[in-house]
Amino acid sequence: MTDDELRAEVSAWLEANWTEEDREYFKAPMALRGPAPWFRRLLEAGWRVPAWPREWCGRDLSAQQTKIVQREFARVKAPGAADPGIAAGTVFAFGSDELKHRMLAKFLTNEATACLLYSEPNAGSDLASVRTQAERRGDHYIVNGSKIWTSSARIADHGLLLARTNWDAPKHSGISFFILPMHQKGVEVRPLRQITGESQFNEVFFTDAIVPAENIVGEEGAGWKVLQTALAYERQLMGSSEAGSAFAGDPLRMLRAAKAAGKLGDPLIRQNIARIMALKELNALNMRRATEEAALGTSSPIMSLGKLAMSRILHGEARVLTQIAGARSMLTGQSFPVEAAMNHQSLFVFINSIGGGSDQIQRNIISERVLGLPREMEMDRDIPFRESRAVRAVPPR
């Protein structure tokens, strides 16, 4: 198939399948959406993951042809093409054939949802120090421990779990990656109250929870490598405009606010808006590069650049809106809906600075993997995890 033939096929398919009903579905908040027939149609047509082999729901397209598919979908603002998501992308990269046959289609169609069980109270920025334990017993693992800052834990069908399977190996070598069924007796989810008053994050406790041995992703003890791919997909999502929703550096929103406040001619405000617009455009170009690499089943440190840039965009917009509002930014409540929404945004944007690896962690990744600077020193990197300071300070139960 030539590029022109492919472009024509994609265009014709979108004309026949991207309906007004689909558009309305994606306008609704994500938490209110049910299963999307759109993703099933995408999968059946091969556009969901066109660069993957046909055996695994793809079309065997080249990188260049995958770009054509993405551009045609972007032209009509249709989502989902060449975008496997965190769970499916990770399973495709490291899962066994049996696990792929069992889980890929479910994740790609959103028939099965997944939350991320990584961070712990004593292992946030240093995820290699996780202490949640998965002990092999015959054909399954028994999981004990806890996780924190988990989005969607109350509604997810599965959890992408990072757990320690060997306490005598160095910390990066003794952890494994699993797909854990969430709806079972041994899993307890407790909502966390955010500074905004909402509860979008949770703490999750495991008490003899069970995960089948065939649900391990990759080899036992090789979970750190699997995690890097999963984190790359998450950072790609958080670095995209979609992650910021309405708060993704919308210049029209800032300009309207400035006009309403009579400050559209303020040169400092105009300069700050221009900086955010420029950063957003540059980030879009970087994220396009990262997305193209992810479509081929690989990860890229450029995703950390995108995530860090989106954090700056979101915080920058919040600061500009506060600057425009002036003293009115101190108002809130139902009597002041505009100011209340602005203050909510100023608090909410910290999610992007922390989730998926903090801004500081992204700077470390960029310095080491993009700029080629020396690694940060880790004194406990090569000793048995049982002997590390993390364990001595808080012994395992």
Give the model's pLDDT for residue 244.
42
Q: What angle do CA 320, 325, 328 make, to 5 degrees?
A: 145
Neighbours of 67 (CB within 10 A): 18
Co-location of 52 and 154 in the same domain: no
73 and 10 in a common domain: yes
SS3 content of the chain, % helix, strand, coil (to 5): 50, 15, 35
Rounded CA separation 159/57 (Å): 23
Terminal-to-terminal C-alpha distance of the chain: 59
Q: Which of 164, 36, 13 is nearest to 112 (CA)?
A: 36
Find the CATH number of the domain harbouring 14.
Answer: 1.10.540.10
Name the domain count of the chain: 3
Look at residue 350 and tell me if it is in a domain. Answer: yes
Give residue 247's pLDDT.
Answer: 45
Residue whose C-alpha is closest to residue 301's, from 293, 349, 279: 293
Q: Is 372 left (phi over 0), alpha (psi -120 to 50) or beta?
A: left
Q: What percent of the chain has pLDDT over 70?
A: 90
Question: Is residue 234 flagged as an active site residue?
Answer: yes
CATH assignment at residue 123: 2.40.110.10
Domain final residue, candidates 33, 68, 83 = 83
User: Residue 259: inside a domain, yes or no?
Assistant: yes
Which has the minimum average pLDDT: 14-18, 133-137, 281-285, 321-325?
Answer: 281-285
Q: Single out the residue of 368, 365, 344 nearest to residue 356, CA to CA.
A: 365
Q: Which of 234, 292, 317, 339 is catalytic?
A: 234
Q: Is residue 375 part of a domain?
A: no
Q: Is residue 383 part of a domain?
A: no
Q: Are residues 50 and 140 in the same domain?
A: no
240: tokens are: 């995209």
Question: Is a pLDDT exceeding 60 seen at residue 395?
Answer: no
d(CA 256, CA 206): 49
Asked, for residue 182, whether it belongs to a domain, the answer is yes
Task: Note whether 72 and 123 are same-domain residues.
Answer: no
Identify whether the C-beta of residue 25 lies closer than 8 Å to the C-beta of residue 38. yes
CA atoms within 13 A on the CB side of 84: 33
Phi, psi of 143 (to 5 degrees): -110, 130
| Residues 264, 169 share a domain | no
193 and 254 part of one domain: no
Do 139 and 217 reside in the same domain of the chain? yes
In sequence order, the 6+-apart residues with CB closer than 8 A to the CB of 51 are 58, 59, 60, 61, 62, 63, 66, 82, 295, 296, 297
For residue 107, being part of any structural domain is answered with no
Same-domain status, 210 and 125: yes
pLDDT class for 243, splitting at 50, 70, 90?
very low
Do 217 and 297 lie in one domain? The reply is no
Is 283 found in the same domain as 210?
no
pLDDT category at 245 given cuts 50, 70, 90 is very low
The range of the structural domain enclosing residue 50 comes to 3-83
Find the CATH number of the domain harbouring 315: 1.20.140.10
**Residue 178 CB partners (closer than 8 Å, separation 6+):** 134, 141, 143, 160, 161, 163, 211, 215, 216, 217
Q: How confident is the model at residue 242 (pLDDT cuts 50, 70, 90)?
A: very low
In 3-state terms, what secondary structure has residue 165?
coil
Of 191, 221, 251, the domain-final residue: 221
Answer yes or no: is 105 within a domain: no
Average pLDDT, the chain: 87
Query: And the tokens for 164?
Result: 């320690």
Which pLDDT score is estimated for 246? 42
Confidence of residue 291 (pLDDT cuts 50, 70, 90): low
In the predicted model, what is the mean pLDDT of residues 323-343?
Answer: 87
Looking at the structure, do residues 216 and 287 belong to the same domain, yes or no? no
Q: Does residue 394 fall inside a structural domain?
A: no
